[in-house]
Structure 1
Amino acid sequence: MIISQTPLRVSFFGGGTDFPAYFRAHGGAVLSAAIDKYVFVIVKERFDDDIYLNYSRKEIVASVDAIQHELVREAMRATGVTRGVEITTLADVPSTGTGLGSSSSVLVGLLHALHAYRGRLVTSAQLAEDACRIEIEALGRPIGRQDQYIAAYGDLRLIDFGPGDAVRVTRVEASGETRARLAERLMLFFTDRTRDASTILADQQHNIPNRLADLHRLKAQAHAGAERLLAGDLDGFGASLDVAWQTKKALASGVTDQGIDTLYARARAAGALGGKITGAGGGGFLMLYAPPFAQDAVRAAMRPLRELPVRFEVDGSKVIFNIRR
């Protein structure tokens, strides 16, 4: 039996600049952090040759080609696991539409567990690259590349993409105190809405030629955010989230709506310095930066939304259990 554990993530700056259509020509940058909420993938050998899948549904099939869960199907094809296996996926939060990068975390965790099942060690770079190839090229999803990399690498990272296909993943060497204080000041509230990000992302990708100035600003904000963390300027970091959110909203029509704007305005009036909808937008979690003295007021303003306490996760995807008979 193999069990992999892969973190979810929050993205601070630069979302949208990780589309190949942008970064191959201009270079992109995102600032993201893995959090202590996870996707678990369990892979177990079976006596028979059938393939058993357990997720929000159950599948029992005779061949990889018959699998309906496209991430499982493509991960099995990529790793050469073809029969006689049971695969279960579990998640700490809803696995779709939350804006925490769960789809890519599921895929990275699947690849990691299936490689381990075959007795292979893989690097974080290989996991991220294979996940990008599957989601973007094999499945044709209109997504960027940051989620796969932060799921594979973990920690607090500045990820530079391009020009061309180059990727540089840099750990943000902020002090332990700065990291702890930042985590304490982040507040995540579930909007009670999940959404299919593909429509928003497809619109965003279509708009790239008309939004180059906004994308250039978002890229610069990722580097500036990392510099603020290195300097320990947390309130400056929090306030810059608001600037980035105002820019992000211009990328596609579905990023926000009146309900989200009302929630965000209430949070700001209660003392939050900045924030954003996690992921592509349109629902999921509202992430806020609030100084400690303002957090009770922010919680009151967000009622009855559920809060998700989070801390940063240093590790990326890893195998936490590996016993083969």
Structure 2
Amino acid sequence: MEDVRSPEEIIHPAINAVLSAYECENGVELHSDADLPARSGLGSSSAFLVGLLHAMEALLGKRVSPMWLAKEAIRYEQDVLAEHVGSQDQVAAACGGLNIIRFGKDETITVQPVVIRKTRKIALSEHLMLFFTGFSRSASEVAHAQIKNIGNRAEELHTMRAMVDDALSILTSETDICDFGKLLHESWMFKRKLSNRITTDRIDEIYETARKAGAIGGKLLGAGGGGFFLLFVRPENQPAVKEALGKLLYVPFELENSGSQIIYYNE
């Protein structure tokens, strides 16, 4: 908890930067509550910044678009705070839903909603499991190592990009939904090659344990190095996977479509 008289005194970097820019003269009481740990690959820092910017704009009586929120959060993280982070988390937090996000060389961002049948979306959700590895890390540090190695990993990156089209084809067709799990496994095998900081012996052990217990595929979320594992598991095999990973925190979740929301707006 911080109790200060001016934004410049705030220790939290993101809050300091945002409140300083908005020049709050009358004082602000800010509370932040989270159900999951920070630095865990779930885009929590970007979601926090998107929410903070949304709240500050609402405080001024302004209504802003999801894309404005996303781009402003990207600007703060990359330019103001000088973090080595990508741009996908901010867009996902601002827009919500299941989307294909395209980033142009001219810094344009397009968000294409993935339109799938309700039964298909339910099937996808029912096959996904989320486990916390127990390791937190700085996404900026892990991503910085990946950025330095990008020139040597062009082939892997192009292959991973092509997997987006494969995933869309699976979700919008009648093919076995488990093919999506197999694709997750292939993606993880490529991603772990991007940097020696993406995985560890312990993380590899967790994944192999899950696979032996029945998981078809999965990937470490976020930059890597720790955080959460997303696993694709047939419903009938999920009890066995839970038991095999019994020492890890299992977090049930559902897919949603809302993105950042102002739940109380008093003009």
- Which residue identity lines up with residue 173 of structure 1 in the other structure? V
Give the superposition deviation at 1:78.
4.2
Assess if the C-alpha contact under 8 Å between 1:81 and 1:118 holds in 2.
Answer: no
Give per-residue Cα distances to partners, 1:69-114, cap 9 Å, x unaligned: 11112222444434411111111212x1111100000000000011
- Tell me the distance in 2 between the aligned counterparts of 1:146 and 1:227: 21
* Cα distance change, pair 200–251 in 1 and its aligned pair in 2 (3 A): same
Assess if the C-alpha contact under 8 Å between 1:188 and 1:287 holds in 2.
Answer: yes
Which ranges of structure 1 fall in alignment gaps of 5 or more residues?
A: 1-57
Corresponding residue for residue 126 of structure 2: 184
**Greater per-residue strand proportion:** 1
Assess if the C-alpha contact under 8 Å between 1:189 and 1:285 holds in 2.
Answer: yes
Corresponding residue for residue 217 of structure 1: 159
- Which residue identity lines up with residue 263 of structure 2 in the other structure? I
Corresponding residue for residue 253 of structure 2: 310
The structure whose RCO (Cα within 8 Å, separation 6+) is larger is: 1
Q: How many residues in Structure 1 have an aligned counterpart in Structure 2? A: 266
- Which residue identity lines up with residue 220 of structure 1 in the other structure? A
Which ranges of structure 2 fall in alignment gaps of 5 or more residues?
A: none
Give the superposition deviation at 1:196.
1.4
- Tell me the distance in 1 between the aligned counterparts of 2:219 and 2:145: 19
- Tell me the distance in 1 between the aligned counterparts of 2:70 and 2:23: 18
Q: Please tell me the root mean square deviation across aligned C-alpha atoms, in Å.
A: 1.3
Q: 2:150 aligns with which of 208, 214, 217?
A: 208
* Cα distance change, pair 206–174 in 1 and its aligned pair in 2 (3 A): same
> Secondary structure of 1:317's partner?
coil
Give per-residue Cα distances to partners, 1:38-82, cap 9 Å, x unaligned: xxxxxxxxxxxxxxxxxxxx1122222222111112222444434
- Tell me the distance in 2 between the aligned counterparts of 1:126 and 1:229: 29
Corresponding residue for residue 32 of structure 1: none
- Which residue identity lines up with residue 105 of structure 2 in the other structure? P
* Cα distance change, pair 224–79 in 1 and its aligned pair in 2 (3 A): farther
**Greater per-residue helix proportion:** 2
- Tell me the distance in 2 between the aligned counterparts of 1:265 and 1:72: 40
Query: TM-score normalised to the size of structure 1?
Result: 0.79
Query: TM-score normalised to the size of structure 2?
Result: 0.96
